[in-house]
């Protein structure tokens, strides 16, 4: 129920005229007249709620709650989060292991939580430092550690309603070091070419079609950074072979815009934030057309089921074979990748993957291509091929940009919201 200026309502059996000088905040979902009248006189509205007084007695009548809260005194948080949970301000204070969260220290509150609706002392879960979802510090036998919280993801479009991540697949032929793959098996794969002044076409990187006009790829594919000239690049969709053309399957586009993540700095040599977006140059606002050879891949979000124990596929491998190929790899836990393989070179924006026998891997020239996870016949883009030490080299897994960390960035730059912005997550801290 919404209350408006000079609106006449029957409230608890009394006929009153509410003359509100300013429009109040929206009522929480499901609020009723009966619920509004249960507030005791002189009641307190919590979490930024607004007290509405009686025009007769001047005493408190009911609370108008802020968006994320409900209840008689706005005491109940609507405890779910959207995206990465960067703006989550609910009241969950327990980690997934059941441990009670520790209070945030004064320095953290002052630096990161000054605008929090609960700005005083509290131990509520929050997502500081742009991690994957709300978390808190808990005490274990190992001391104080970070753990993700038992906060669900807010409802979003169900997987059944999505149109992305579906493919038309033909039989594949097994070869050493991966599978020869038809483009129907990976219809979101994009081939990015650089054109010289003499119009010589050189393959530069792979990419993934995430919407009709946008391709997601790696930032390091563009060594000139912000000085990259868009007109020097083109994108082919539906391509099976680098040195052959198929006018029936392929769609070619010039690049209208290249957006490199602001936090990427290749001069540091760490490949953090190795992610970029290409906007295709279409006609009349339309770019790629959906066919058996060209389709979009879904972007991952925050809710279950998790993909951590599933086999992933990385595709591209054009550099060595000139034909589209795929490799099957397993995700390696972050702590294992850091401690065993790459020490402290792995940031929270990266993930590692490799095959158990080290026989399959992404390689040089595959940069920007997808690391995909299949769930119920639908593919989700979890990684962008970024870097590694050699190709299929024992003890040296491939390193990928963690796409789920960039959901908000992708939405901001493309002005679109991922259809799967809250559908699946990969669970590794």
Q: What integer best gives the mean pLDDT of the chain?
A: 74
- Determine contact, residues 41/59, Cβ cutoff 8 Å: yes
Cβ neighbours for 130, distance < 8 A, ≥ 6 positions apart: 84, 86, 348, 405
Which of 38, 57, 76 finishes a domain?
A: 76
pLDDT of residue 423: 36
Q: Where are the beta strands (DSSP E) in 218-349?
A: 233-237, 251-260, 276-280, 312-316, 325-332
Identified catalytic residue from 208, 303, 367, 404? 367
| Within-domain flag for 193 | no
Token code pair at residue 379:
């593919």
404 part of the active site? no
pLDDT of residue 348: 86
pLDDT of residue 8: 34
Same domain, 86 and 134: yes
pLDDT of residue 263: 92
Same domain, 54 and 106: no
Q: How far is it, in rounded angstroms, from Cα 375 to Cα 193? A: 31
| Within-domain flag for 35 | yes
- Determine contact, residues 233/255, Cβ cutoff 8 Å: yes
pLDDT of residue 307: 59
Same domain, 113 and 87: yes
Residue at token pair 């399957």: 249
Which of 58, 76, 94 finishes a domain?
A: 76
- Determine contact, residues 171/388, Cβ cutoff 8 Å: no
Q: Is 167 helix (H, G, I), strand (E, B) or coil?
A: coil
Mean pLDDT comparison of 40-49, 257-266, 307-316, 323-332, highest-scoring range: 257-266
Which range marks the domain in which residue 64 is found?
7-76
pLDDT of residue 153: 76
More confident residue, 293 or 41: 293
> How many domains would you assign to the chain?
2
Q: Indicate the pTM of the whole model.
A: 0.64
Same domain, 12 and 58: yes
DSSP state of 227: G
Task: Indicate the burial class of 293 (C-beta count within 10 angstroms; 0-12, 13-18, 19 or more).
Answer: buried
Measured in residues, the chain has a length of: 429
pLDDT of residue 80: 81
Q: How far is it, in rounded angstroms, from Cα 93 to Cα 95? A: 7
Q: Is 110 helix (H, G, I), strand (E, B) or coil?
A: helix
Same domain, 101 and 57: no
Same domain, 103 and 150: yes
Element (H, E) at 209: strand 201-211
Q: Is the pLDDT of residue 35 over 80?
A: no
Nearest CA to 207 out of 407, 371, 375 is that of 371
274 part of the active site? yes
Per-residue pLDDT, averaged over 25-43, amounts to 39
pLDDT of residue 29: 41
54 part of the active site? no
Per-residue pLDDT, averaged over 201-230, amounts to 91
| Within-domain flag for 277 | no
Q: Is the pLDDT of residue 393 over 60?
A: no
More confident residue, 305 or 150: 150
Same domain, 99 and 114: yes
Which of 23, 58, 76 finishes a domain?
A: 76
Same domain, 100 and 66: no
| Within-domain flag for 336 | no
| Within-domain flag for 134 | yes
Q: Is the pLDDT of residue 306 over 60?
A: no
Q: Is 224 helix (H, G, I), strand (E, B) or coil?
A: coil
| Within-domain flag for 145 | yes
Identified catalytic residue from 68, 220, 355, 421? 220
Q: How far is it, in rounded angstroms, from Cα 401 to Cα 382? A: 8
- Determine contact, residues 185/314, Cβ cutoff 8 Å: no
Same domain, 117 and 138: yes
- For residue 94, the domain's CATH number is 2.40.20.10
| Within-domain flag for 241 | no
| Within-domain flag for 69 | yes
Token code pair at residue 188:
């979101």
Identified catalytic residue from 79, 274, 361, 366? 274
Mean pLDDT comparison of 48-52, 129-133, 334-338, 398-402, highest-scoring range: 398-402
SS3 content of the chain, % helix, strand, coil (to 5): 15, 30, 55
Same domain, 85 and 45: no
Same domain, 50 and 90: no
Q: How far is it, in rounded angstroms, from Cα 49 to Cα 71? A: 10
Same domain, 69 and 87: no
Nearest CA to 405 out of 389, 388, 381 is that of 381
Token code pair at residue 390:
């050699």
Share of the chain above pLDDT 70, in %: 67
């Amino acid at each position: 129920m919404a209350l408006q200026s000079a609106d006449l309502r029957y409230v608890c059996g009394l006929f009153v005229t509410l003359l509100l000088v300013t429009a109040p905040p929206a009522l929480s979902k499901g609020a009723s007249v009966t619920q509004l009248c249960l507030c005791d006189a002189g009641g307190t509205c919590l979490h930024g709620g607004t007290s509405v007084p009686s025009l007769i007695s001047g005493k408190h009548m009911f609370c108008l709650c802020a968006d994320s809260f409900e209840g008689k005194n706005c005491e109940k948080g609507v405890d779910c989060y959207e995206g990465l949970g960067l703006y989550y301000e609910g009241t969950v204070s327990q980690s997934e292991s059941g441990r009670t969260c520790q209070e945030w220290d004064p320095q953290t509150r002052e630096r990161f939580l000054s605008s929090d609706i609960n700005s005083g002392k509290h131990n509520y879960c929050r997502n500081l430092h742009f991690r994957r979802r709300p978390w808190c510090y808990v005490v274990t036998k190992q001391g104080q550690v970070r753990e993700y919280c038992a906060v669900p993801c807010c409802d979003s479009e169900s997987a059944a309603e999505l149109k992305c991540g579906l493919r038309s697949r033909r039989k594949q032929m097994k070869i050493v070091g991966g599978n020869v793959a038809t483009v129907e098996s990976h219809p979101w794969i994009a081939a990015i070419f650089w054109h010289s002044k003499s119009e010589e076409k050189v393959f530069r990187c792979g990419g993934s079609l995430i919407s009709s006009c946008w391709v997601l790829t790696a930032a390091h594919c563009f060594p000139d950074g912000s000085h990259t000239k868009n007109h020097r690049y083109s994108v082919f969709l539906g391509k099976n072979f680098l040195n052959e053309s198929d006018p029936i399957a392929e769609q070619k586009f010039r690049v209208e815009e290249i957006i490199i993540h602001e936090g990427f700095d290749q001069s540091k040599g760490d490949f953090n934030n190795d992610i970029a977006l290409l906007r295709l140059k279409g006609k009349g606002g339309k770019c790629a057309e959906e066919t058996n050879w060209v389709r979009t891949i879904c972007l991952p979000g925050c809710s279950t089921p998790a993909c951590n124990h599933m086999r992933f596929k990385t595709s591209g491998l054009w550099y060595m074979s000139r034909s589209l190929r795929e490799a099957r790899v397993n995700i390696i836990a972050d702590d294992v990748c850091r401690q065993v393989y790459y020490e402290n070179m792995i940031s929270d924006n990266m993930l590692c993957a490799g095959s158990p026998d080290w026989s399959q891997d992404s390689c040089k020239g595959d940069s920007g291509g997808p690391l995909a996870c299949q769930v119920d016949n639908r593919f989700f883009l979890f990684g962008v091929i970024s870097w590694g030490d050699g190709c299929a080299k024992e003890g040296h897994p491939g390193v990928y940009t963690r796409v789920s960390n960039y959901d908000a960035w992708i939405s901001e730059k493309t002005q679109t919201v991922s259809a799967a912005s809250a559908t699946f997550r990969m669970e590794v801290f």
